[in-house]
Amino acid sequence: MTPKSTNRLGEIVARHERELVPEWVEQQLAAETLRRDLVKDEELREQSQRFVQSLRAGLEATDGNLDVRGPAWSSTRDLLRELAHARSRQGFSPSETATFVFSLKQPLFDRIRSDLARDPEGLSDELWQTTVLLDKLGLYTVELYHEGREEIIIRQQQEMMELSTPVVQLWEGILALPLIGTLDSARTQVVMESLLQSIVQTGAGIAIIDITGVPTVDTLVAQHLLKTVAAARLMGAECIISGIRPQIAQTIVHLGVELGGVVTKSTLADAFAIALARTGRGVTKTAG
């Protein structure tokens, strides 16, 4: 019973493919939920055409099983992946993306009803089969949509990581490391490595760690900072911590963090002046 019914659905789709696609596209274009600002009519038409084709191919290739994760549906899955990833980048919502698949129900149901008007039992079977198939594909599209979003988030995290740990050379032998954003273990590791690498490359004797842009300092962050300072000292470079805001000074004392032996300054300018003095230099005014 089931194999026959699936093949019948495939036959219906194949028979009506020519007029099914334009009708479906018309309906999608007429729907209020369509984002005319994000997708072109031509693109939508092409996507709809390819989806119906792959649906027909999938129905023909399977023997009545509607397992959309099976090998027979791989071309449909590829198409949906491409579509969902593109739409998640373009800024569609998940429901707008899934509506693409679900909206095929209406034109397809119309075809099934007119073809099987004399066979109520077959009609209800086919409607059920179609619903199951399109629901599965729709839900799969939502999953793919989220997969696309995850990729974007991971890429942005990596970009942020790279952007947020610059080591700049202020003067010969003086490095500055302006830290911006919350420090966690992973970031501190990157910060530490890039600072130590720069010390080796430039042969700098003094490194200024500026924490003006660090919103909060807890015991963990303080410990990370102290580790960085200790590692730099082992390599023969001295560290100065600058940009400690009054609020953070209070927090450090309340937490009982011992910054023993580390020179701290309130601004980067003060720290730079100290660093220049340590390397036997100074700034003088030449005019005015």
Partner 1 sequence: MERIPILKMGDCLLVTIQVDMHDRLATTLQDDLTERIASTRARGVVIDISALEIVDSFIGRMLGNIAAMSRVLDAQTVVVGMQPAVAITLVELGLSLPGVSTALNVEKGMALIGRAVGKAEGTNGGPET
Q: Is 200 in the site for partner 1 (CB under 8 A)?
A: yes
For residues 101 and 199, which CB has a smaller minimum distance to partner 1 in the complex? 199
Cβ(28)–Cβ(103) under 8 Å?
A: yes
- Kindly state the smallest distance separating residue 230's Cβ from partner 1, in Å: 4
For residues 146 and 278, which CB has a smaller minimum distance to partner 1 in the complex? 278
Return the CA Rg of the chain.
32
Q: Which of 68, 199, 221, 241 binds partner 1 (CB under 8 A)?
A: 199
For residues 203 and 213, which CB has a smaller minimum distance to partner 1 in the complex? 203
Q: Which of 72, 102, 205, 279 binds partner 1 (CB under 8 A)?
A: 205
Q: How far apart are CA 258 and CA 191, in angstroms?
A: 21
For residues 56 and 224, which CB has a smaller minimum distance to partner 1 in the complex? 224
Q: Which of 4, 35, 227, 281 binds partner 1 (CB under 8 A)?
A: 227
For residues 13 and 192, which CB has a smaller minimum distance to partner 1 in the complex? 192
Please, which contacts does 59-65 make with residues 24 or more away whose CB atoms are closer than 8 Å? 59/6, 59/7, 59/9, 59/10, 59/13, 60/7, 60/10, 60/14, 62/6, 63/3, 63/6, 64/2, 64/3, 64/4, 64/5, 64/6, 64/7, 65/6
Q: Is 275 in the site for partner 1 (CB under 8 A)?
A: no
Q: Is 240 in the site for partner 1 (CB under 8 A)?
A: no
Phi and psi at residue 53, in whole multiples of 5°? Answer: -60, -45
Give me the DSSP letters along 221-262.
HHHHHHHHHHHHHHTT-EEEEE---HHHHHHHHHHT---TT-
For residues 4 and 227, which CB has a smaller minimum distance to partner 1 in the complex? 227
Binding mask 177-196 toward partner 1 (x if CB under 8 A, else -) reads: ---------------xx--x
Q: Is 230 in the site for partner 1 (CB under 8 A)?
A: yes
How far CA 243 is from CA of 136, 177, 195, 246, 263, in Å, comes to 55, 11, 18, 10, 12
Q: Is 154 in the site for partner 1 (CB under 8 A)?
A: no
Q: How far apart are CA 93 and CA 111, in angstroms?
A: 29
Q: Is 241 in the site for partner 1 (CB under 8 A)?
A: no
Q: Is 287 in the site for partner 1 (CB under 8 A)?
A: no
Q: Which of 34, 209, 232, 271 binds partner 1 (CB under 8 A)?
A: 232
Q: Which residues bind partner 1 (CB under 8 A)?
A: 192-193, 196-197, 199-200, 203-205, 227, 230-237
